[in-house]
Chains A and B, each alone.
Chain A
């Protein structure tokens, strides 16, 4: 009741909250992160468009490592277990997270899936997010690093069109570079320049899951990341770029 005049009307109170709308997800992500840090597991949130080559990249990574590292993976898809099936065939214990209509993974989905994955027996957990260049960037999963797969076929200005995803990326893997001879209009330098405008610490490694090009550099990046976030000043943008263009 209104206490001012006793008229019987309700009071309208204004309550200051000042809290992230995603606080519940962030809390769950922090919980996931505690698990990963405590058990010494490098957790990577691998994002990218549908068809950017995320699964092929992980297959090539497993093949190149040849058992040197114990990998596990969670694969987010709207439907089917195809990606997890492929990863298991490549020797990576994997579980699908089938999201139905959801366009991204969130920290709770990852936590639930971890209960059914031998992640704590591994040293590297790849969380292959739903193929989507927008929504996954919004949700912290508890990962140490965000890696974005960008295929050379997607166009040079993708980073400018999807700045939210690329501003969150710690590393961009430029995939399918074996196709470059068939794409005369595509320049790695122009892709790198677009990244420099959207990624504050721009870092890109050109890779091909078909020829194996760049996979060694990507594995070196992972090993550096194991030492702690931000151990990658040396990666930057490709050597073919001028110093002026490098970030």
Chain B
């Protein structure tokens, strides 16, 4: 389970923003987590609840937007359905993951005196 190291990296980045803006507390952290990112959102929440103690984010809410996986053709951008071979039904080009790989810190809401 690597969600603790993900949360640790997340809080390091949030701390940078806190320092940069001279914030006294973090209210909300918004992240995007893709279905095929390898991060379990429930485990991420649990890890966040533990690791946030004694940081500027101790009272912060973690808002997770889950992003569904979507494969598209590399050449013609057509959607490639899951449950089938991951190549374009039209032109046979291999698919690319167009959405669902996100491990993204979107936004931090902080209290600034």
Query: Are A17 and B108 in contact, CB atoms less than 8 angstroms apart?
Result: yes
Q: Is A68 an interface residue (CB 8 A)?
A: no
The 4 closest A-B pairs by CB, nearest first: A135-B2, A164-B38, A138-B38, A200-B94
- Chain A residues with Cβ below 8 Å from B113 are 1, 10-11
Query: Are B5 and A197 in contact, CB atoms less than 8 angstroms apart?
Result: no
Given A21-B9, A200-B96; A11-B38 close (CB under 8 Å): no
8 Å CB contact of A247 from B36, B38, B87: B87
Q: Is A54 an interface residue (CB 8 A)?
A: no
- Chain B residues with Cβ below 8 Å from A86 are none
Does more than half of chain B's interface fall in helix, strand or loop, or is it mixed? mixed
Query: Are B95 and A17 in contact, CB atoms less than 8 angstroms apart?
Result: no
Given A167-B97, A200-B96; A15-B36 close (CB under 8 Å): no
Query: Are B112 and A20 in contact, CB atoms less than 8 angstroms apart?
Result: no
Pairs A–B under 8 Å by Cβ, sample size 5: A12-B111, A17-B106, A19-B104, A24-B12, A197-B86
- Chain A residues with Cβ below 8 Å from B106 are 16-18
A202-B85 Cα distance, complex, nearest whole Å? 9
Q: Is B58 an interface residue (CB 8 A)?
A: no
Q: Which residue of B lies closest to A165 (CB)?
A: B38
Least CB distance, B38 to chain A, in whole angstroms: 4
Q: Is A113 an interface residue (CB 8 A)?
A: no
Q: Is B31 an interface residue (CB 8 A)?
A: yes
Least CB distance, A197 to chain B, in whole angstroms: 6
- Chain B residues with Cβ below 8 Å from A65 are none
- Could you count the A-B residue pairs with CB atoms below 8 Å apart for me: how many are there? 110
Least CB distance, B53 to chain A, in whole angstroms: 19
Least CB distance, B41 to chain A, in whole angstroms: 13
Q: Is A44 an interface residue (CB 8 A)?
A: no
Which range holds the interface residue count of chain B? 35 or more
- Chain A residues with Cβ below 8 Å from B10 are 21
Q: Which of A1-15 contact B (CB under 8 A)?
A: 1, 10-15
Instruction: Count chain A CB atoms within 10 A of each CB in B85, B103, B104, B109 and give the residue with the most.
Output: B85
Q: Which of A74-110 contact B (CB under 8 A)?
A: 102-104, 106
Q: Is A196 an interface residue (CB 8 A)?
A: yes
Further pairs besides A12-B109, A21-B31: 14, Cβ < 8 Å: A1-B113, A18-B107, A20-B105, A21-B13, A21-B103, A24-B13, A102-B2, A106-B5, A135-B1, A138-B2, A138-B39, A164-B38, A167-B36, A200-B96
Query: Are B109 and A135 in contact, CB atoms less than 8 angstroms apart?
Result: no
- Chain B residues with Cβ below 8 Å from A200 are 71, 86-87, 94-97
Query: Are B94 and A14 in contact, CB atoms less than 8 angstroms apart?
Result: no
